[in-house]
């Protein structure tokens, strides 16, 4: 089991997907449609979702997304009204931050991670070699993993060095180390069969699944 822990590499001898509430399918679909009605709004969402622990004031957001300030103010008001963002005043400035209790946060994070974030980087040209992969939602929202947490799991016939390069880049971006595991299908199956606590806990946590047809890997 090729598992990376902060500051060390473990050898093989070492050792619910977020639902976010129940508004019903129709209301969830409607809320998602409302989120993606303009490019400015999409760019603002990307900014907050890729750095979920960071607060931004209006002018900083305007610089980051590269558009005029009135359009940014309008979309910030819309996103706050939808429950995606919250605001607070600090030294005569209004700062905005992502609300982690937004009911559709897991779904929106999943879309972004697969299209532009670490999910896209992990699969990339390696998609045919990866049979199952996920990224932890708590990790995406800024969690610093403990010794029993897995932030990223990849199963398939893929060299560890391919994944480690992607992870190192993400560590630079986030400023902290990432716990990840790269397993063959046989290793993963054996660990799941014997109910290895590390793997079972990883499968039970809220996560963004990056691969299609993963039901057999997720079943416990």
pLDDT string in tens for the chain (220-residue length) = 445 443 333 333 333 333 333 334 344 445 555 677 788 998 999 899 888 888 999 999 999 999 999 999 999 999 999 999 999 998 889 999 999 999 888 888 888 888 777 888 888 776 788 999 999 999 988 888 888 899 999 999 988 888 999 999 888 888 889 999 999 999 999 999 999 999 999 999 999 999 988 998 999 8
Cβ atoms of 95 and 88 within 8 Å: the answer is: yes
Domain span(s) for CATH 1.10.10.10 in the chain = 25-98
CATH code, 25-98? 1.10.10.10
Name the pTM for this structure: 0.75
Residues in the chain: 220
Count CB-CB contacts under 10 A for residue 108. 20
- Three-state secondary structure string covering 4-33: EECCEEECCCCCCCCCCCCCCHHHHHHHHH
How confident is the model at residue 158, as a pLDDT? 86
């Amino acid at each position: 089991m090729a598992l990376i822990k902060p500051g060390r590499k473990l050898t093989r001898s070492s050792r619910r997907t977020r639902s976010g509430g129940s508004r019903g399918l129709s209301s969830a679909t409607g809320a998602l449609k409302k989120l993606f009605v303009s490019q400015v709004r999409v760019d603002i969402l990307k900014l907050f979702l890729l750095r979920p622990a960071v607060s931004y004031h209006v002018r900083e957001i305007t610089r980051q997304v590269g558009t005029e300030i009135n359009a940014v103010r309008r979309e910030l008001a819309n996103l706050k009204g939808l429950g995606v963002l919250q605001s607070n005043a600090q030294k005569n400035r209004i700062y905005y931050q992502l609300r982690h209790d937004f009911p559709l946060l897991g779904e929106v994070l999943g879309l972004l991670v697969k299209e532009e974030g670490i999910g896209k980087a992990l699969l990339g040209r390696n998609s045919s070699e990866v049979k199952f992969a996920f990224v932890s939602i708590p990790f995406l929202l800024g969690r610093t993993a403990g010794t029993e947490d897995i932030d990223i799991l990849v199963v398939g016939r893929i060299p560890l060095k391919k994944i480690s390069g992607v992870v190192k880049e993400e560590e630079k971006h986030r400023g902290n180390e990432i716990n990840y595991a790269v397993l063959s299908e046989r290793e993963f199956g054996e660990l799941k069969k014997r109910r290895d606590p590390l793997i079972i806990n990883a499968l039970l946590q809220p996560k963004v699944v990056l691969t299609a047809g993963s039901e057999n890997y997720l079943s416990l």
